[in-house]
Amino acid sequence: MRLRIRSLVPCLLIISGTAWADISGTVVNGPDSMPIAGAEVRVQAMENSPVAITNAAGEFTLAVNPANPVSLAGALPYDPDGSNNYFSNIAFAVNGQTDVQIGLRPFPVSDNPTYDPPTSFLCGACHGEQHDQWSMSRHAGAGMNPWVLDLHSGGGTPGGSAGYVFRETHDPGETGFCATCHNALEDVFDPGNVQMNEVTSASALEGVNCLTCHHIGEVDENNINGLHHFGGKTQYRFPAEIEQNTEFQVFGPLPDVEAGIMYSVYNPLFESSRLCAACHQYNNPDTGAPGQNTYAEWLASPFAQAGPGFRSCQNCHMPQADGPGPITQIGSVERPASQRHAHTFIGATPTTLAEAITLTLDAEQQGDEIVVTASIFNGAGHSFPTGVSIRNAMLSVEVQAGGMTLAQTGGPQIPFYGSDDVPGVQPGDLAGTPGKGFAKVLQGRINGQGSPVQPVLFIDAETTQSDTLIPSSTTDTSVYRFAVPAGFTGTVSVDARLLYRRAWRALAVTKGWTVTPGGMPVEIEVAAEQRQLAVESGFNLSAIPTLGIPALLILILSVGLLAWRWRR
C-alpha cells in the first residue's frame, strides 16, 4: 500500500504544474535550422518577463514556470553593420518543455529597387488606434505644413509670399533641405534634391507617417548633426520582397512580435532618443551653424543619465497607455500598458508648457526703487524653447503705481525680436520694455551674399549671434529696478508674464500667421505672476545736489545769521 502511494506522487506533481522549472530549447534560422547566437528569448506580452540569451549553439533556458501554455518569443537585436539579421517570431511552449524551437526568418540583405511606400491608411487597417492618434499629430501635417511652405516657396498661406521666401532668394535648384525631413519618403530616393512644393508621392505628402519611422534601421551617432538621410546620418531599409511585401517588413521596439502579416525586426533604437535625432538634430551642412539641437540638449540634461530619473524622448512624447490592450485589432495578444505607447507626439501646448516651466516672482522696496527678481525653471528634458530657431520666448515685467507704469532704472530689456517690423508700436510689440528674451538667434548672409543679417533660418546661418535658451533643469534669474515716484505712498502692482512664441513676431506679422498649422495660437502665455507691494515715499538722498566748499560756507553763515536774528 505504501508503494502505491509513492508511485502517484510524480503524476500529481505533473498535474499541478509544479514538477518542472524552466523552459529550454533553441533559436534557429528558419530556412536551414542553423543556430542563432545572441538571440533574446522571453514570454510574449509578459510584463517584466525574464530574458534568456542564446549561446553559440542557439540554446536557451528560460527561468519561468507557467501554469498554462505560453508563447515564447525569440528576437535578435538589429545590427546595422551585421550580415545576418532576423525578424522576430514565437513558438508555443508548456511548463518544463526542453525542446522548444523558435525559427526566425532572415531579414533581406538587399532592398527593393522599385519600392513606392504606401500611405498610412494601409497601416491603419490593423493599427487603427495608433493611426487615429497619429492623424491628429503634427507629424501628420509635416508634409504640407503651410508655414514651412511659406518659407520655402511662398505658397502655404494667402500671405505666404510676403517677406522671406527661400526659392526666390536662392540659386535655382537649391532646395533648402525642407523635404529631407518633411517629405522623407520621397526625398530618401533622391537625397537633398526634392523641392518641398513639388512633392507628388501620396505617402511623402503625409509627412512623418508610419513608414517614415518604421523603415529606419539606424541613426549614426558619429554623424548626429547631419541632415536626416542626406549625407548618410539615417539608414533606411526597404527590404526586398523575398517572402513578404516591403511595406510589411518593418522595424519596431517590441522583441516579441509574431511573424504573421507583419514581419518585424526588433530594433532597440526605437526606445532610444537617438531615433528622434534623425530629424531633431542637424546643422547647416556648409557652415556648421546649428539648425535644431534638441537631441544634444537632451544628452546634456539629467534626463539622459541612467537611473530612476532617466527619461527618453519617447517617455514624454509617446507616453504609455492607461491600461492593457492589443496593439492591433486583428488577432493581437493583450499587452500590458508599458508595451502600448501613444502616437500623438504631443509637443508645446499650453498644458505641457505649464507643466514643464515654472515662473517665480519676488519684489521689495529698496530706498526709492522697487526691485523685482524673476526666476524661470525649465523642467523639460531639453532647452526652453527648443526646436527650429524661429521659436522664442520672453519674460515681460511691468510695475504700476496709481495706474502709472513706473520707469525702469535697471535690468535687462526684451530684445529686438519682441516686436514686429511695422513702424510704430503695435499691440504685442515688447522690444525695449523690461524683460528678457530666450532664443537662439542665427546670423548669416542670404544665399551667401550681401551683409550678414539676423535672424536667419539655419540654411542661411553662418554663426550664432546669441543663445539665451534655458537649458534643461536649470533656472534663469533676472533682476529689474523701477523708480518710485517722488512723494508716492501706497500699493504698487508687479506683473510678470512668460510668453512662448512659435515664430518671430516680425515673421508672423509679415506672413499673416495668426494661428499655427495645428490650429493653436502663435503666442502662448506659459505663466503669469503678480505681486502687490505696499511702499512708502522715502527721502531720496541721491536727489540732493552736491555742494562745493564755498556754497557750503555760505549755507552755514546764512543759517547762523538766521539763528542770531531769531534769538534777538
- Provide the CATH number for the domain around residue 426: 2.60.40.10
**Cα angle: 148, vertex 152, 155; to 5 degrees:** 80
Question: Residue 331 has what pLDDT?
Answer: 75
Residues 141 and 65 in one domain: no
* Sign of torsion over alpha carbons 250, 251, 254, 257: positive
Per residue in 424-438, pLDDT (tens digit) is 999 999 999 999 999
Taking 70 as the pLDDT cut, the residues of the chain under it are 1-20, 538-568
End-to-end CA distance of the chain: 141
Per residue in 237-272, pLDDT (tens digit) is 999 999 999 999 999 999 999 999 999 999 999 999
Evaluate whether 529 touches 360 at the Cβ level (below 8 Å): yes
Residues 61 and 162 in one domain: no
- How many other C-beta atoms lie within 10 A of the C-beta of residue 183? 28
Question: Residue 20 has what pLDDT?
Answer: 55
Examine residue 384 and state whether it is found in any structural domain, yes or no: yes
Examine residue 561 and state whether it is found in any structural domain, yes or no: no
Examine residue 111 and state whether it is found in any structural domain, yes or no: no
Residues 206 and 305 in one domain: yes
Which amino acid is present at 331? G
Residues 193 and 129 in one domain: yes
Question: Residue 383 has what pLDDT?
Answer: 98
Burial of 404 (C-beta count, 10 Å sphere; 0-12/13-18/19+): exposed
Residues 358 and 323 in one domain: no
Residues 386 and 442 in one domain: yes
User: H-type helices in 125-205, by residue range?
Assistant: 128-135, 146-152, 166-169, 178-182, 184-187, 202-205
7: domain CATH number is 2.60.40.1120
Question: Residue 551 has what pLDDT?
Answer: 52
Question: Residue 21 has what pLDDT?
Answer: 73
Domain that holds residue 263: 120-339
Question: Residue 329 has what pLDDT?
Answer: 86
Examine residue 290 and state whether it is found in any structural domain, yes or no: yes
Question: Residue 191 has what pLDDT?
Answer: 97
Examine residue 380 and state whether it is found in any structural domain, yes or no: yes
Examine residue 550 and state whether it is found in any structural domain, yes or no: no
Percent over 70 (pLDDT), the chain: 91
**Rounded (10°) CA dihedral 256, 259, 263, 267:** 20
Residues 90 and 131 in one domain: no
Burial of 347 (C-beta count, 10 Å sphere; 0-12/13-18/19+): middle
Residues 400 and 532 in one domain: yes
Examine residue 557 and state whether it is found in any structural domain, yes or no: no
Question: Residue 536 has what pLDDT?
Answer: 84
Residues 325 and 390 in one domain: no
Number of independent structural domains in the chain? 3
CA 241 vs. chain centroid, Å, equals 34
Examine residue 512 and state whether it is found in any structural domain, yes or no: yes
Residues 202 and 225 in one domain: yes
The reported pTM is: 0.90
Boundary (domain end) residue, out of 104, 131, 150: 104
Per residue in 136-166, pLDDT (tens digit) is 999 999 999 999 999 999 999 999 999 999 9
Burial of 192 (C-beta count, 10 Å sphere; 0-12/13-18/19+): middle
Residues 146 and 98 in one domain: no
Residues 317 and 174 in one domain: yes
